[in-house]
Chains A and B, each alone.
Chain A
Amino acid sequence: QVQLQQSGAELAKPGSSVKISCKASGYTFTSYYISWIKQTTGQGLEYIGYINTGSGGTNYNEKFKGKATLTVDKSSSTAFMQLSSLTPDDSAVYYCARGRGYNPHWGQGVMVTVSS
């Protein structure tokens, strides 16, 4: 069965970076895009962007350009998202999901907390 297993919770200091992972299994990794979504209590769900897992091509929400960097490692069927120059506003749960507009499979989410 399709599974997306995300890495564990992160506690980071303001100004630092974190890199979270999303390991796919149960399907051909390079056949589907991976999307990333941010969820906060205040802002709800925000679409960060997606990556073409075959070519590595990316497309970002303007709001997250310069904040998020999406990459993949095809050898391990893993997608990554690096968040840089962290501020408290980046504290959220981050999800990966398979596909672009059609996302039936999601990871369990990673809680990122930014605090000094």
Chain B
Amino acid sequence: DIQMTQSPSVLSASVGDRVTLNCKASQNINKYLNWYQQKLGEAPKLLIYNTNNLQTGIPSRFSGSGSGTDYTLTISSLQPEDVATYFCFQHNSWNTFGAGTKLELK
């Protein structure tokens, strides 16, 4: 099974900061990597699919990049409503989620 490791597990940042979240796969996942945002009490929300494709309706401050085993979600200018937990998800070989990065306001 492919393991997904997210870092950091908790990230504190200020409004307006550029924020980078990381996700590392235990083997090459060929860019089949999605990012989800989950707020308390809600279902996960798809932000980015297949590494760098912005889901419809998602603000352009969110972007994704990566290849092979290493992937990144970037928020160009953090907004208060971005406080949430972010999960990466690979669907190259079966389907596996990362453990999440909790994003807090400093």
Which A residues have a C-beta under 8 Å from some C-beta of B?
35, 37, 44-47, 61, 95, 100-104, 106-109
Q: Does the CB pair B46–A108 fall under 8 Å?
A: no
Contact flag A109-B96 (CB < 8 Å), given A101-B32, A102-B34: no
In the assembled complex, which residues on chain B have CB atoms less than 8 Å from the CB atom of A61? Answer: 94-95
CB-contacts of B48-76 with A (<8 A): 49-50, 55-56
For this complex, 24 residue pairs linking A to B, each with C-beta atoms less than 8 Å apart, are A35-B95, A37-B97, A44-B97, A45-B87, A45-B97, A45-B100, A47-B96, A47-B97, A61-B94, A61-B95, A95-B43, A100-B91, A101-B32, A101-B34, A101-B91, A101-B95, A102-B34, A102-B50, A103-B46, A104-B46, A104-B49, A104-B56, A106-B43, A107-B43
- Least Cβ distance of B1 to chain A in Å? 8
CA distance A104 to B44 in the complex (A): 9
> A108 contacts which of B43, B87, B96 (Cβ < 8 Å)?
B43
Q: Does the CB pair B44–A45 fall under 8 Å?
A: yes
Q: B99 at the A/B interface (Cβ < 8 Å)?
A: yes
Interface hub of A37, A104, A109 (most chain B Cβ within 10 A): A104
In the complex, which residue of chain B has the Cβ closest to the Cβ of A103?
Answer: B46
Q: Does the CB pair A106–B99 fall under 8 Å?
A: no
In the assembled complex, which residues on chain B have CB atoms less than 8 Å from the CB atom of A45? Answer: 44, 87, 89, 97, 100
In the assembled complex, which residues on chain B have CB atoms less than 8 Å from the CB atom of A107? Answer: 43
In the complex, which residue of chain A has the Cβ closest to the Cβ of B55?
Answer: A104
- Least Cβ distance of A1 to chain B in Å? 12
CA distance A46 to B89 in the complex (A): 10
In the assembled complex, which residues on chain A have CB atoms less than 8 Å from the CB atom of B97? Answer: 37, 44-47
Known: A101-B91, A102-B34. 16 other contacts (CB 8 A): A35-B95, A37-B97, A44-B99, A45-B44, A45-B100, A47-B94, A47-B96, A101-B34, A102-B50, A103-B34, A103-B46, A106-B44, A106-B45, A107-B43, A108-B43, A109-B43
